[in-house]
């Protein structure tokens, strides 16, 4: 039969306690991460994001008629001849 000393039992107890603590910590971290991701998906737009949205919206036809074709479509930019864009 196996003979265990007190030192062996203490080492085993320490290893098991560290493993259980690591698993609990990891599970709590993953749970917190999932909750934060869910909350981030439902966050209303902040003022900074609204400002960015305002800046990148299409030009107003009344203010910038040169940006639109006669049929109302937005004009395509004319790229320089050295640029390989279509």
* Domain residue ranges of the chain, discontinuous segments joined by +: 6-67
Q: In this model, does residue 85 exceed pLDDT 60?
A: no
Q: In this model, does residue 56 exceed pLDDT 80?
A: no
Q: In this model, does residue 52 exceed pLDDT 80?
A: no
Q: Given this model, what pLDDT does residue 86 score?
A: 55
Lowest mean pLDDT among 16-20, 40-44, 62-66: 40-44
> Could you tell me the two tokens for 24?
């609990």
Q: Is 17 or 55 the better-scoring residue by pLDDT? A: 17
Q: Are 24 and 30 in contact (CB under 8 A)?
A: no
The overall average pLDDT reported for the chain is: 79
């Amino acid at each position: 039969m196996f003979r265990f000393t007190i030192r062996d039992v203490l080492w085993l107890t320490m290893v098991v306690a560290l493993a259980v603590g690591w698993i609990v910590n990891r599970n709590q971290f993953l749970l917190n991460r999932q909750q934060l991701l869910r909350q981030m998906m439902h966050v209303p737009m902040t003022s900074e994001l609204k400002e960015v949205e305002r800046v990148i919206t299409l030009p107003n036809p009344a203010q910038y008629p040169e940006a639109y074709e006669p049929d109302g479509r937005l004009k395509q930019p004319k790229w320089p001849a050295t640029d390989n864009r279509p």
